[in-house]
Amino acid sequence: MTLSPLGHWYTHGSRSRVFAGDGLHFHGLHKLHQRRYRQLVKEHTHSVNAAVTGLSALPSTAESMASVKAMSRFLHHEDVTLPALIEPLQDAIRTAVAASAGDVTLVVHDWSMFNFHTHTRKKDCFKRSHDTDVGYDLGTALVVDAANGRPLGPMEFRVRTAEGLLTTRPGVSTSPPAHVDELAGVMADSARWNLARPLVHVVDREADSVGHYRQWHAAGHRFLVRAKSDRRVRWKGESITLKALQTKLAGEFRDPPAGPLTIPTTFGPARVEVLETAVTLDRPAVTWVGDVQKEVRGQPLDLRLIMTRAIDALGVVRAEWLLFTNAPESVAAATVARWYAWRWRIESYHKLLKTAGMNAEEWLQSNGDAFAKRMAVASMACLTVWHLQQDVSDDAAALKKVLIRLSGRQMKHRVKDTAPALLAGLEKLLAVADLLEDHNLNEILDLAQRLLPNLFNTA
């Protein structure tokens, strides 16, 4: 058994494998850079705590500073590009999508600000709102398995700096005026991803924009977006806000026709009630024309409105979603609701890059380009943990128990493991493995028992 899709890398680095039987291709990296990439992924998995801003030394490196210097040379090398660094992730995602039982693949889009207002060496930080809201803005297209909600990895990400937009997409990208303006380019490029299932793009309320709906629909893209309650639509010939429509139809919510549906939420399992109706968006789109906002008329757009509410065990409504989608009617409303419930996977991914795992806001890279490259490496380390989570074998279950115990973290009732806890445990396991490269375990325990008898004396 291997630890992860990177297991072959760690033990047989020259073979360049991800999953057993599948080749890992670096079309854009020289072999020397490929070896350093593999080493960096392992070092990122090894450095997961709030006090670490660089990398820990591994058995193959002489000392920590040598490892940090080697990483710096790698990240600043002109031949190491973002499109090349994302290739291993994309290959692993393609393999996972091909093995999925889902009829479609979800691509969840979101943005997260990495704050660096105290890092004075970063001269290209982007100021989003005020003087302390400074850093790099990360936009991610996270692929999620539509059959079970498992995160499969980021197929693309973009880092906005004061100097422009850095992207894993080949070619030069300019900085669009707003987050939602980035999505047309991502959706258009998704045809090049060669994923084995049709795509449905899932976005939160930030993307509730009539003009963009028309643009995406005309280009043939399927989308699922949470709408704002003050959005005005035409329903059965009447102009009405979604909030008013929701109130009007409040008595018609029902369990899905296929039977009760329970979804995981931040407050625990919740029973879902759904109500679907057809609406038309016929209002002008408000858009920027130069430096001026103008209303731009367009063709009326018919969409499915799926009203969803999540109810806890006490019967309290804990969440309500108003969902627009152009997915075909053959897709049940309950299925669409479940798709949106899995949108939170991208929040967990961003959290794993921040305080729950990689502590990226403490990284000391001096510019956005190096930061973005390191983000690609760290994402591959996250993929290692996700792959272990997905493994249902007895060996994987045993290893996960060991990692949770090593992490020292308490799991919630009926929760066996979490990605942050597994990552923390894996960090300690790698540290132990590094130590045992040069030291004998029995000798270490003997020293501890003699010098720290209160902690290690078993008598």
Confidence of residue 245 (pLDDT cuts 50, 70, 90): very high
Burial of 357 (0-12, 13-18, 19+ CB in 10 A): buried
Residue 146 in contact with residue 106, Cβ under 8 Å?
Answer: yes
Average pLDDT over residues 130-156: 93
The DSSP symbol for 200 reads E
Quote the CA–CA distance of 372 and 165 in Å, as a whole number: 10
β-partners of residue 281 are 301
Calculate the alpha carbon distances from 6 to 20, 277, 304, 332 in Å: 10, 46, 42, 37
The listed range with the strongest mean pLDDT (36-40, 57-61, 432-436) is: 432-436
Q: pLDDT: is 37 or 175 the higher one? A: 175
Confidence of residue 65 (pLDDT cuts 50, 70, 90): very low
- Sequence-separated (6 or more) residues with CB below 8 Å from residue 7: 1
- Sequence-separated (6 or more) residues with CB below 8 Å from residue 43: 55, 56, 58, 67, 71
- pLDDT, one tens digit per residue, over 375-389 is 888 888 788 888 888
392 pLDDT above the threshold of 90: no
* pLDDT at 275 (0 to 100): 94
DSSP element (H, E) containing 110: strand 105-115
The amino acid present at 45, given as its one-letter code, is: T
Q: What is the largest CA-CA distance in the chain?
A: 84
Residue 78 burial (CB count, 10 A)? 5
Pick from 63-72, 106-115, 213-222, 227-236: least confident: 63-72
Quote the CA–CA distance of 145 and 176 in Å, as a whole number: 29
Tokens 């003087």, located at residue: 131
Residue 156 in contact with residue 201, Cβ under 8 Å?
Answer: no
* H helical segments located in 354-440: 368-390, 394-407, 419-436
67 pLDDT above the threshold of 80: no
Residue 351 in contact with residue 142, Cβ under 8 Å?
Answer: no
Quote the CA–CA distance of 363 and 50 in Å, as a whole number: 11
- Sequence-separated (6 or more) residues with CB below 8 Å from residue 271: 255, 260, 261, 262, 310, 311, 312
β-partners of residue 289 are 292
Calculate the alpha carbon distances from 148 to 39, 56, 402, 419 in Å: 32, 35, 25, 16
Quote the CA–CA distance of 138 and 154 in Å, as a whole number: 12
Strands 151-161 and 164-167 turn out to be antiparallel
Residue 426 main-chain phi, psi, to 5 deg? -65, -35
Residue 424 in contact with residue 409, Cβ under 8 Å?
Answer: yes
- pLDDT, one tens digit per residue, over 403-422 is 999 888 888 877 888 888 88
Smallest CA-to-CA distance from 285 within 299, 296, 274 is with: 296
- Sequence-separated (6 or more) residues with CB below 8 Å from residue 311: 270, 271, 272, 273, 317, 318
Burial 268-297 (b: 16+ CB within 10 A, else e): eebebbbbbeebbbbbebebeeeeeeeeee
* pLDDT at 409 (0 to 100): 86
Calculate the alpha carbon distances from 155 to 107, 186, 349, 422 in Å: 9, 10, 13, 23
56 pLDDT above the threshold of 50: no
Smallest CA-to-CA distance from 157 within 252, 86, 101, 78 is with: 86
Average pLDDT over residues 59-66: 41
The listed range with the strongest mean pLDDT (18-27, 64-73, 245-254) is: 245-254
Confidence of residue 40 (pLDDT cuts 50, 70, 90): low
Residue 247 burial (CB count, 10 A)? 11
- pLDDT, one tens digit per residue, over 175-185 is 788 899 999 99
* pLDDT at 38 (0 to 100): 62
Q: Please give the torsion angle defined by the CA atoms of residues 227, 230, 235 and 240, in that order, rounded to the nearest 10 degrees.
A: 180
- pLDDT, one tens digit per residue, over 328-381 is 999 999 999 999 999 999 998 999 888 777 888 888 888 899 899 888 888 887
6 pLDDT above the threshold of 50: no
Calculate the alpha carbon distances from 394 to 1, 10, 397 in Å: 10, 22, 5
Q: What is the average pLDDT score of the chain?
A: 82
* pLDDT at 51 (0 to 100): 40
Residue 262 main-chain phi, psi, to 5 deg? -115, 135
- pLDDT, one tens digit per residue, over 195-210 is 999 999 999 999 999 9
Quote the CA–CA distance of 138 and 372 in Å, as a whole number: 9
